[in-house]
Amino acid sequence: MRETAVIVPTYNNPKSIKKVAFDVLQNGYELILVDDGSDDVVEELFEDGEKENIHFVRHTTNQGKGEAIISGVKKAKELGYKHAASIDGDGQHLASEIKKLTDAYKDGEILIGARNFDLEHVPNGSKFGRWFSNFWACWDTGFEITDSLSGFRIYPVSILNLPIKTSRFDWEMEVLVRHADAGRVISEVPIECYYPTADERVSHFKKFGDTMAIVWVHVQILPFKWPGFILDKLLGRKRK
């Protein structure tokens, strides 16, 4: 487990973040906790005796989930890791499931933990949003992706070299596309998760604004994809 650090980006999740952190630590991982400009400084929520194996990184202002993950990957690289897992700070992801990813991980790929959405409390809107996002993710990457919106992933430190322009929730889509464009692999492993009720969950995902930002990622990329698609058809080549 010491081969994989775990990044938890967090923004104003004071009720869940300590539980998430202790879950990661109890499963034997070194934790990089990225406070993306929370109103209450996350490190101050922990007692001195609770900070062992936690590396705190703080943005003084909110920069977005993508930038938080980038900061976490930079820290993982500084600590000597070649890749790092990322899970959300809202309590949806279970640290015990990280092992499914680490057991399947191959160097240099992005590995996605594909969530089981056949659960209670999962709104139909969330299911539709995942289907819509998956359609475009498969098109733009050439890989079969069933949960492109999952924040439960393993990233290689090579993502630091990708020409990514986004920084918020749309970053999680763009990193897949840029990684695939660089000739690298995207894989998935099924995972279980806990999907909180509406009363329990704290989400900063803006359904309209952030969805449109993700769509815009694809709109900008599509003109560059059509020539390759047409060439593949003419030459009889199959996509990945």
Strand pairing category for 153-156 and 110-115: antiparallel
**Residue in 5, 147, 16 with CA at minimum distance from that of residue 74:** 5
pTM to 2 decimal places: 0.81
- Mean of pLDDT over the chain: 84
Higher pLDDT, 233 or 108: 108
Residue 238 has pLDDT above 60, yes or no: no
Fold of 5-235: Spore Coat Polysaccharide Biosynthesis Protein SpsA; Chain A (3.90.550)
Q: How far apart are alpha carbons 70 and 78 in whole angstroms?
A: 12
pLDDT digits (tens, 9 = 90+) for 193-212: 876 655 555 555 555 455 55
Domain locations in the chain as residue ranges: 5-235
Give residue-wise pLDDT tens across range 67-105. Answer: 999 999 999 999 999 999 999 998 889 999 999 999 999
pLDDT digits (tens, 9 = 90+) for 165-178: 898 878 999 999 99
